[in-house]
A and B are shown apart, each in its own frame.
Chain A
Amino acid sequence: DSGVTQTPKHLITATGQRVTLRCSPRSGDLSVYWYQQSLDQGLQFLIQYYNGEERAKGNILERFSAQQFPDLHSELNLSSLELGDSALYFCASSVSPGPGNTIYFGEGSWLTVV
């Protein structure tokens, strides 16, 4: 158990809908990361927050948004869902973004868009 908690574990929704994925980082970790893993694209970095502030952005679609709250939990919002958004979404956390800090992954949220 990495200590990173993600909910829900599984989610099935229809095209055009909006979903919210939630992440609680490990105790003491200030940095949160979101990744998307699909069969054809592999593990892709989406976005990173550090202590409530956006720190880095990767291949995140404009239909997707995220935030980190004062209690350090984070949410990833996916809207106008398409079939191609079906994937495993991981949250990860580390103490800080600096070198030498291991990134710990949660168990992921399986999203199926039908």
Chain B
Amino acid sequence: QKEVEQDPGPLSVPEGAIVSLNCTYSNSAFQYFMWYRQYSRKGPELLMYTYSSGNKEDGRFTAQVDKSSKYISLFIRDSQPSDSATYLCAMSATGYSSASKIIFGSGTRLSIRP
């Protein structure tokens, strides 16, 4: 079993819909949770990060962490075609720039239909 599980999709939704992307994990030591966005033929870019449990909001994006269920989510409100990308969750026990300790999900491919 992988430490981080993520549904690969693809997920296709109409423009304006609310998108929910999720990951589950097995390592209870994870404290730092990240979401990366990767456009086709580009490198991943850090979208949001949270520490421990709770919610964090940034514009149309909300990251949610439920450590009791070992479950994290990324919500995208008012989705736009420009949000079409692969979204990777990532987590670490030691910080979001301790690259050797960051475990990535396999990514969910999201497509927003105009």
Contact = CB atoms under 8 A, between A and B. Distances in A.
Interface of A: 2, 4, 33, 42-45, 48, 55-58, 90, 92, 94, 96-108
A101 B106 CA distance: 23
A100 B104 CA distance: 18
B7 interface: no
Contacts of A104: 45
Interface of B: 41-46, 88, 94-100, 102, 104-107
A100 B97 contact: yes
13 contacts: A2-B43, A44-B104, A48-B99, A48-B100, A56-B99, A56-B100, A92-B99, A97-B98, A99-B95, A100-B95, A101-B97, A103-B46, A107-B43
Given A94-B97, A102-B97, A45 B102 contact: yes
**Leading 6 A-B pairs by shortest Cβ distance:** A105-B43, A56-B100, A99-B95, A42-B106, A43-B104, A101-B97
A68 B13 CA distance: 43
Nearest to B42: A107
B43 A99 contact: no
A111 B95 CA distance: 30
B100 A42 contact: no
A4 B43 contact: yes
Nearest to B6: A42
Contacts of B99: 33, 45, 48, 56, 92, 94, 97, 103
A4 B45 CA distance: 12
